[in-house]
Structure 1
């Protein structure tokens, strides 16, 4: 390398910082260069605005009379405009293009971005009628004094770096026709002050940081164009959506959820463009969308819509751009849609369509662009795999039963519980007890072989001896008062009362797998059916005379005890009349009337221009 080359490189390297500085200054002076605000700068500007706001967010009625100025003005309205614009200039944090440097002196009509005209209510007066400082890259906030510009019809400040909120004093701008604050750093909930503007026709809030719900009154306002895209709105689309007379509605790139209201069909005369792209919308597409015969742009891509494109979509006779990509749509892309007379672009990619008409294939028409990739269409290239398609196609959505879209939703029938009627005793028939349902009739068994018992010193369990079934009657008990049965029958003792005796060591052998039998005398204290006829008692075998054991007064067994063994013998001696003894005191078990029954419990490519 020669010495001349080395010297040239050294000179060039020493000039490089100068060139970098010159290029940065050139970019800063370019109308397309923007100095981004940091989060701390944004917070600082918003805090300045909050500190400057008066109580209630509005100026007092006589505010301008307390402002002392050294200039004279042609009329009081220009004086108020001067106060407003000077307050706004003081609220500017950064003005790299020096837009507000010309805002000096009393001649406000010469300010850059400020336009004057004759007053609508008095043609002799000159007033500030419009402000347009689009793409000025100004950082600052909107002062409350802007409410003094009561003759303002246009307010355009898009593509700047204004922060904070839109002050409530904007409600004084009663003839404001266009409000464009797009592409700034505004925050907070939807600025409801704009709903109070009676003459507003054009509202553009896109590319800000507004959040929260969309007020239903917004769509009842007489707007011609509404741009809400690229914010942080999280609400559903209100049912008043269809009441809007707007010709253009763009709410793309938010976090809206729920369904498209059926009221959208009311917009058939006015709506020309609707863009709902990239939200969290769900459900079937309402059939009323087919009534939008004047729509030229319909974009519902990048949501979670399901179901099919209904036959009513053939009513979109003027649609040119139809985009339903990136959803969960299924079914067939029909010839009625692909042959719409004005159609220029039909994008239905990234869905689950399993068929398409021949006219929907991309190679069939030169005057229209079709995009069918990433579906489930057989014999088409670039489709989803069968593994991806099966979970969706095997479970088609029934839109007629859906709560929104696709047809008139029908409410799901609620399971009706049968009306519970009180139990009434029926004397002719034996009614089953709620505890013992479906018991077989008692079986006639032969008398068991009885062996003499061995003396037992201490009884261990309370069981009945098969040899000594007869108990001595309770001593001198008054006759019980038998009451008629109620809906919940009381527990009565069996007509044949027996006393318990100590158990024996060798019980009689059990019978293998016998059918269920009538309740044992031990468990007779269950609730019997009301008014049972007296049992037929057969004469028993001769009793074995053994000394009766002392009665053991033990509490009755629980109601839910298992049925006794089937080898219980009949009583030893036929009683002459049923002896009913008063049962020991115990808690009544009230069974619910329904025992035994069970009831079944019921980011895609952006659309050009948005």
Structure 2
């Protein structure tokens, strides 16, 4: 009996312990959780606190602050003002990270790092903030822009809400910005692109939305983490301008093609993570130009077609994941035998052929996954035949797909005409807008038709009242409209633009209007009345200047933060420029 009582007491004690542990876990969960209403309320408080609408600081802001504490130098005083404002903007600090943020000794505050200033070794400054994992709820006040000496700002895994204030553009020495795993909202924080020396940008696991600004990939960054947000739209076409070693865009809602400029990142890119988006089309062949990359993950999209043949050149590739797409065709042996390859998943696609080296086995040095495809040979876990037939009956030709089609072969080079061309090529304007480039030269006895100096010259008046049409143009161009027939026998010039009448040809010819495009064509001098003037010289056609050469950022070789960072779930052409320039020049000439 006594033994039974002891056992009952032990069971009751065990139950109490379990209940106690459950209460602790519930309390911890309650502390970590932040409802949408609470996050919205914190963001509203931040907006109310901002003196400027975008979160910047007025230029005279410091003069309005009075602190009754003595500091070693003015920079520490500014840091004190910023940190105290931030502490007031925190509404929950369950781990008491900021409980000791009291007094003038800011260098003793938890999470605050002080070092001698770069410009003065005798001056101590706040050089960094690290409150990672604090589970702190609050917002970022504009006063944080006063921490102008910090080189890193780490606040990941907290519950900060609202926006990143515009005052962060004042952090001119900031190299690392990590605000991941918080509750920040709004569009992409453009202010981070105004931080001049920023190298490491981590915005993942927040609620940012909208599209990515193209300038993100023009900035000289070493790491870009924007995964696990709510970004949408196309990946900017200048994607390949980035100098980053790690680019993670996973777990968003990007659509469209993988930009073909990706191949320009070959010198610097180590890891590319595009998984779990809505990208479609064929994998561009330029992706296989990333010969220095070790990780490429494009899984969980809607990519179609076949694998690029150039994958066999990615000799440093360690992890390749193309699973959960709609790819088809064959998996080549050379891909599965890449020298550095350790993991290769092509599962859940529509591949129908795989090389022997791509079949998963315990003896293979590569971890392979071919499940969920359309493979023959009794491979386990393949798709049903009817499902495979629907896709395999309509293969996608990546040579014509918009995301991967090869550029059209260059057209045969047409030799440029000489500088002085008797037959310019601009299209014919409407008769009421056509300026009279060459008026017929008067004759002393009777007017004679002057030879046409250009293709689209209106017919000249004849001595007889009967109309005389212009001779056919030497270059095939559309015939002139009907109204441009010989004018009535009143010896008036053809109707000029903007209702400006020209003097009669019996007096003298009006000088041609100077064209707007430089250099101006040679003007014909007005002929003297008593002597017949020869036909005016043909205007000199200035060839269009060459188009500007495409600008791309130089390859970035300085890896400041070479970390193996992952997400948790994881031209315009020269010819078209020339054509556009010619059209613009033609329009200017006709003016």
TM range (shorter): 0.5 to 0.7
| Residue pairs, 1:148-167, within 5 angstroms | 148-167=146-165
8 Å CA contact retained: 2:328, 2:351: yes
User: C-alpha deviations, 1:544-565, integer Å up to 9, x for none?
Assistant: xxxxxxxxxxxxxxxxxxxxxx
8 Å CA contact retained: 1:285, 1:406: no
Query: What SS does structure 2 have at the residue aligned with 1:83?
Result: helix
Give me the whole-angstrom Cα distance separating, in 2, the residues matched to 1:99 and 1:257. 41
Q: Deviation at 1:131?
A: 0.3
Q: Does residue 49 of structure 1 match 2:46? A: yes
Query: What SS does structure 1 have at the residue aligned with 2:58?
Result: coil
Q: TM-score scaled by structure 1?
A: 0.64
Relative CO higher for 1 or 2, CA cutoff 8 Å, sep ≥ 6?
2
Match of 2:388 in 1: 389
8 Å CA contact retained: 2:162, 2:184: yes
Query: What SS does structure 1 have at the residue aligned with 2:253?
Result: coil
Q: Deviation at 1:66?
A: 1.4
Match of 1:259 in 2: 257
Q: Deviation at 1:406?
A: 4.7
Change beyond 3 A, Cα 1:26–1:239: closer
Change beyond 3 A, Cα 1:98–1:23: farther
Give me the whole-angstrom Cα distance separating, in 1, the residues matched to 2:34 and 2:199. 31
Query: What SS does structure 2 have at the residue aligned with 1:256?
Result: strand
* Unmatched 5+ stretches in structure 2: 410-565, 571-591
Match of 1:310 in 2: 308
Give me the whole-angstrom Cα distance separating, in 1, the residues matched to 2:207 and 2:278. 18
Change beyond 3 A, Cα 1:14–1:200: same
Give me the whole-angstrom Cα distance separating, in 1, the residues matched to 2:387 and 2:17. 58
User: C-alpha deviations, 1:473-524, integer Å up to 9, x for none?
Assistant: xxxxxxxxxxxxxxxxxxxxxxxxxxxxxxxxxxxxxxxxxxxxxxxxxxxx
Query: What SS does structure 2 have at the residue aligned with 1:48?
Result: helix
8 Å CA contact retained: 2:52, 2:58: no
User: C-alpha deviations, 1:395-448, integer Å up to 9, x for none?
Assistant: 0112122211253379xxxxxxxxxxxxxxxxxxxxxxxxxxxxxxxxxxxxxx
Q: Deviation at 1:607?
A: 7.2
Give me the whole-angstrom Cα distance separating, in 2, the residues matched to 1:143 and 1:205. 18
Give me the whole-angstrom Cα distance separating, in 1, the residues matched to 2:204 and 2:18. 38
Change beyond 3 A, Cα 1:307–1:181: same
Change beyond 3 A, Cα 1:609–1:41: closer
Query: What SS does structure 2 have at the residue aligned with 1:187?
Result: strand
Match of 1:130 in 2: 128
Q: Deviation at 1:55?
A: 2.2
8 Å CA contact retained: 1:358, 1:364: no
| Residue pairs, 1:273-422, within 5 angstroms | 273-363=271-361, 365-379=363-377, 380-408=379-407
Give me the whole-angstrom Cα distance separating, in 1, the residues matched to 2:13 and 2:341. 60
8 Å CA contact retained: 1:403, 1:409: no
8 Å CA contact retained: 1:400, 1:409: no
Pairwise CA RMSD: 2.4
The range that moved more, 273-282 or 374-383, is 374-383
Match of 1:39 in 2: 36
Larger radius of gyration: 1
Q: 1:75 aligns with which of 73, 76, 97?
A: 73
Change beyond 3 A, Cα 1:106–1:364: closer
Query: What SS does structure 1 have at the residue aligned with 2:304?
Result: strand
Query: What SS does structure 1 have at the residue aligned with 2:41?
Result: helix
Match of 1:193 in 2: 191
Give me the whole-angstrom Cα distance separating, in 2, the residues matched to 1:244 and 1:133. 29
Match of 2:422 in 1: none
8 Å CA contact retained: 1:284, 1:405: yes
8 Å CA contact retained: 1:310, 1:406: no
Query: What SS does structure 2 have at the residue aligned with 1:99?
Result: coil
Q: Deviation at 1:25?
A: 4.9
Q: Deviation at 1:45?
A: 0.8
| Residue pairs, 1:478-557, within 5 angstroms | none
Q: TM-score scaled by structure 2?
A: 0.67
Q: Deviation at 1:269?
A: 0.5
The alignment covers a number of residue pairs equal to: 413
Q: Deviation at 1:65?
A: 1.9
Give me the whole-angstrom Cα distance separating, in 2, the residues matched to 1:148 and 1:4. 69
User: C-alpha deviations, 1:263-314, integer Å up to 9, x for none?
Assistant: 0010110000001000000011111111111010000000000010121111
Match of 1:436 in 2: none
